């Protein structure tokens, strides 16, 4: 007879099962950051050092694993946006969140895809992610009303500009993984008004040789 009732608590995982789950999530986190969301569960199993069957026992599919890996990241984005919106200086608040977004997306390919490209088939992530939009709109509105940015800059521009910096980061990553910081400030200088101090371009521009090397790396990656 099965004595389990509907009110029974779920069985606690064995210690080895807990360790395997932690290894799977950490392996997925690394792979998503390095290669984006197109990885397979076989890739995750290989990186974690477990059988693919173990991965499927812990996660029904890749979408569930994506949600597990990125739930905290997406929530942190919401907190960062809401914190920036309370900054007493509208321009500094906008810069604070723009830098946060660029820093986290430029260094994590999977997170970039979750935040900027992923369709709303992951309801748990999309619901949290969508909380960011009105907060960013408020950030942009405050900066515009304060005369810190050009009068025709909209919240939708903010997301497009982050995407531009992220795309440059992905392009230049093989030759200069930090160059995106230069273009982050190029973008910020481009939207500000003349009354707002310019941000310094502390990183040098890509050289012609680096550009050609980056292009070559992309061509090689596409062939494989």
- Quick: pLDDT tens for 76-90: 999 999 999 999 999
Is the residue at 1 inside a domain?
no
pTM passes above 0.85: no
Which 8-state DSSP code applies to residue 149? B
* pLDDT given at position 143: 95
Task: Please list, in sequence order, all residues whose beta carbon lies within 8 angstroms of the beta carbon of residue 9, skipping any fewer than 6 positions away.
Answer: none
9-13, 30-34, 154-158, 202-206: segment of lowest average pLDDT: 9-13
pLDDT band at 116 (very low <50, low <70, confident <90, very high): confident
Same domain, 205 and 110: yes
Mean pLDDT in the chain?
86
Please give the residue that has the higher pLDDT: either 44 or 18. 44
Task: Please list, in sequence order, all residues whose beta carbon lies within 8 angstroms of the beta carbon of residue 142, skipping any fewer than 6 positions away.
Answer: 85, 90, 93, 94
Element containing residue 132 per DSSP (H, E)? helix 132-145
* pLDDT given at position 4: 47
Please give the residue that has the higher pLDDT: either 217 or 188. 188
Same domain, 186 and 102: yes
Six-digit token string for 148: 């810190």
Which 8-state DSSP code applies to residue 4? -
Distance CA 176, CA 49 (A): 31
Is the residue at 29 inside a domain?
yes
* pLDDT given at position 146: 94
Same domain, 122 and 188: yes
pLDDT band at 149 (very low <50, low <70, confident <90, very high): very high
Parent domain of 77: 69-223
Render pLDDT for 35-94 as a digit per residue (tens, 0 to 9): 988 899 999 999 999 998 999 888 888 889 998 899 888 899 999 999 999 999 999 999
Please give the residue that has the higher pLDDT: either 117 or 135. 135
Same domain, 172 and 78: yes
Distance CA 25, CA 44 (A): 8
pLDDT over 70 percentage in the chain? 88
* pLDDT given at position 1: 45
Same domain, 12 and 78: no
Same domain, 28 and 90: no
Which 8-state DSSP code applies to residue 192? B
Same domain, 102 and 43: no
* pLDDT given at position 119: 59
Is the residue at 30 inside a domain?
yes
pLDDT over 90 percentage in the chain? 46
pLDDT band at 19 (very low <50, low <70, confident <90, very high): confident
Distance CA 224, CA 213 (A): 17
* pLDDT given at position 76: 92
Same domain, 183 and 83: yes
Is the residue at 64 inside a domain?
no
Is the residue at 2 inside a domain?
no
Is the residue at 186 inside a domain?
yes
Q: What is the CATH number of the domain that holds 29?
A: 1.10.10.60
* pLDDT given at position 23: 92
Number of domains in the chain: 2
Same domain, 76 and 168: yes
pLDDT (mean) for 186-207: 87
Q: What is the CATH number of the domain that holds 117?
A: 1.10.357.10
Same domain, 94 and 40: no
**pLDDT surpassing 80 at residue 220:** no
pLDDT (mean) for 13-24: 80
For residue 21, the SS3 value is helix
């Amino acid at each position: 007879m099965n004595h389990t009732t509907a009110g029974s608590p779920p069985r606690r995982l064995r210690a080895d099962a807990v360790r395997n789950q932690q290894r799977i999530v950490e392996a997925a986190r690394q792979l998503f950051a390095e290669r984006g969301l197109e990885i397979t569960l076989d890739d995750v199993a290989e990186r974690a050092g477990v059988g693919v069957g173990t991965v499927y026992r812990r996660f029904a599919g890749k979408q569930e694993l994506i949600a597990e890996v990125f739930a905290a990241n997406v929530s942190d984005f919401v907190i960062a946006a809401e914190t920036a919106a309370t900054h007493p200086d509208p321009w500094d608040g906008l810069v604070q969140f723009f830098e946060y977004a660029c820093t986290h997306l430029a260094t994590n390919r999977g997170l970039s895809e979750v935040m900027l490209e992923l369709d709303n088939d992951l309801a748990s992530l999309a619901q949290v992610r969508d909380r960011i939009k009105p907060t960013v709109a408020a950030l942009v509105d405050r900066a515009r009303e304060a005369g810190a940015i050009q009068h025709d800059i909209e919240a939708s521009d903010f997301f497009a500009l982050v995407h531009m910096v992220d795309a440059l980061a992905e392009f230049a990553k093989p030759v200069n993984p930090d160059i995106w910081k230069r273009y982050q400030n190029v973008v910020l200088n481009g939207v500000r008004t003349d009354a707002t101090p310019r941000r310094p371009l502390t990183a040098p521009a890509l050289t012609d040789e680096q550009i050609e090397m980056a292009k070559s790396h992309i061509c090689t990656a596409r062939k494989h």
